[in-house]
């Protein structure tokens, strides 16, 4: 079974709106990472948040981590049509493998 589960599975918004995706996981982690995948392409790393961090920013991205609830959220502000992609969270448990969730498919309409 997946360690991480994203919610929602699909999200459709208008350009300029904010997009929020959530990720829940099951076990204690070293860090949680968010990746983006354009259709059928390789995954691209967006941001990494360590287990002792609560919030992190990178450009229009904001990630939060709540280890007590075993959950994380990714906020994309002022979305653009080019943000259309699938977004995955991945948990790093022991510095070895990254376990991915099922992803959120984001569509940003121009």
Partner 1 sequence: DSGVTQTPKHLITATGQRVTLRCSPRSGDLSVYWYQQSLDQGLQFLIQYYNGEERAKGNILERFSAQQFPDLHSELNLSSLELGDSALYFCASRPPRGANTEAFFGQGTRLTVV
Rounded to a whole number of angstroms, the minimum distance from the CB of residue 16 to partner 1 is: 27
Which is nearer to partner 1, 71 or 101 (by Cβ)? Answer: 101
Tokens 């920013």 -> residue: 57
In the complex with partner 1, the residue whose CB is nearer, 15 or 30, is 30
By three-state DSSP, how is residue 56 classified?
strand
Of residues 15 and 62, the one with the C-beta less far from partner 1? 62
Residue 102 sits at the vertex; the CA angle it makes with 3 and 14, to the nearest 5 degrees, is: 135
d(CA 35, CA 103): 9
Q: Would you tell me which residues interact with partner 1 (CB under 8 A)?
A: 2, 30-31, 33, 35, 40-45, 48, 50, 88, 90, 92, 94-103
Q: What angle do CA 35, 39, 48 make, to 5 degrees?
A: 5
Provide the minimum distance between the beta carbon of 42 and partner 1 in the complex, in angstroms, as a whole number.
4
């Amino acid at each position: 079974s997946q360690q991480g589960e994203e919610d929602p599975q699909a999200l459709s918004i208008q350009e300029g709106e904010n997009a929020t995706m959530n990720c829940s996981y099951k076990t204690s982690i070293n860090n949680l990472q968010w990746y983006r995948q354009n259709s059928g392409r390789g995954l691209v790393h967006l941001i990494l948040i360590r287990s002792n961090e609560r919030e992190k920013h990178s450009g229009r991205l904001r990630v939060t981590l709540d280890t007590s609830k075993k959950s994380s959220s990714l906020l994309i502000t002022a979305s653009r049509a080019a943000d259309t992609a699938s977004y995955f969270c991945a948990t790093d448990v022991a510095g070895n493998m990254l376990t991915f969730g099922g992803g959120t498919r984001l569509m940003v309409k121009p």
